[in-house]
Structure 1
Amino acid sequence: MSRNLVIGDIHGSYKALKQILERSAATPNDRLIFLGDYVDGWGQSPEVIDHLIGLKSNFNCIFIRGNHDDLLLTWLKTGEYSEEWFNHGGRITMECYNTLDKDKIQLHILFLESLEDYYLDDSNRLFVHAGFTNLNGVKHEYFKRMFYWERTLWETALALDKNIGHEHPYYPKRFTLYKEIFIGHTPVTRIGKTVPVNMANVWNVDTGAAFKGPLTIMDADTKEYWQSDPVQELYPEEKGRN
């Protein structure tokens, strides 16, 4: 039986990625939906991307673009970067990529260029790194960067009055467009959690792997999930983005 397995923000934690694929017993029959932010944080971003490229040979994979992936792509292609990116995981990623040969870097550029803004499945479930702002949905989004930068979707879900139903005029229209929405981008460790969190019809699967939390893979149908060890324990010699 095939599953739809959703993977949260990896942030260079190659060891955690291997753990969750093993613990979930992922097989080529499963669809793997990666929510983005493959890089920055821990010191194995190139290894993560190498592994993802390799998975494409045997697995049905959906690779969604995260903001950190886009920032890395800009630096690899132009040499330009912001101080904010440098201080939020970019520095260690730059150090890693400066040791690679041009052919390997070009292969990674092609992978980063191939990432998708979002994935909408046959059950009207949306998978996107951060969110969207257009009240008519992702296909009408004017600002494509919102797919991997915006936070108001999750903030609205957190603040939503649970007593307000779909028919109420105050109910956010964005939440009525899709059966479920799966996101990463804003770690649930900000609200004191280290497991996937459901608010309204939004599932946040970023369980803080860039910081002190584990990496998570979740079955989108059953909501069963598997996690790595806390990533800082897998990289005791590093500080990550703490």
Structure 2
Amino acid sequence: MGALSGRTALVTGGGRGIGRAISERLGRDGARVGVHYGRDEAAAKETVAAIEAAGGEAFAVRAELGVPGDAEALWSAFDEQADGVDVLVNNAGINKAVDGTLKRVGEVTEEDFDRLFAVNTKAPFFIVQQGLSRLRDGGRIINTSTGLTRGAAKPELIAYAMSKGAVDVFTRTLAKDLGPRGITVNAVAPGAVDTDMNAGWLRGAENAGARTALGEISPLGRVAEPADIGDVVAFLASDDSRWVTGQWIDATGGVLL
């Protein structure tokens, strides 16, 4: 019996990177995992297949986030395949402007700002709001934050960090609101992780210097892998974390020390 046997989880952005690592770990722990995706159906199906190949259960859930009606669409798709949820992981997020670049305060457009907040802040809020009737008592909500909300400021990520700062407030307040139902709410804050999102500057022989420099920032001397974050989320999803709520969990590998 796994730690999450008999429970159902939903992981937004669950098909790639950190989300895939979370999905696969929750699946190994016995949860039936809803792997949400917005556009990359192939990645979501690969994640579902990987969970099933390891002996778990999973299903794909499609809904584009950051657009009107996104929460309704997500839960409608989820309801077709599951009856209630025990673990909700708000992991989906973006950090770049509409044109795919990183921008400082003088360059961020209203469209950039609105898009970042629509995906990173508004979507989790209404996903939770509309998921409360589906979330079982004693459940878990885990939000993906970032070390940038409490660490060194990066001017080129100002709007992204602001959107995640709102998630931190959401986490603390929601924990107090849902505590009477035995539902815990926590945020996990990674630093830079070796995912597709960071591949452009972190992977490949030509980027070996950047990778080495990034690894040296952590006392542990390496760059984070998605599984490093997925395992932290698994703890927060389990009964072992029952007395932890409203917390911002530093998962940067000690970068903020």
Q: Which has the higher contact order (CA 8 A, sep 6+)?
A: 1
Tell me if both proteins adopt one fold, taking TM over 0.5 as the criterion.
no
| TM-score between both structures, scaled by the size of structure 2 | 0.34
Q: Which TM-score applies when normalising by structure 1? A: 0.36
Q: Please identify which structure carries the higher helix content.
A: 2
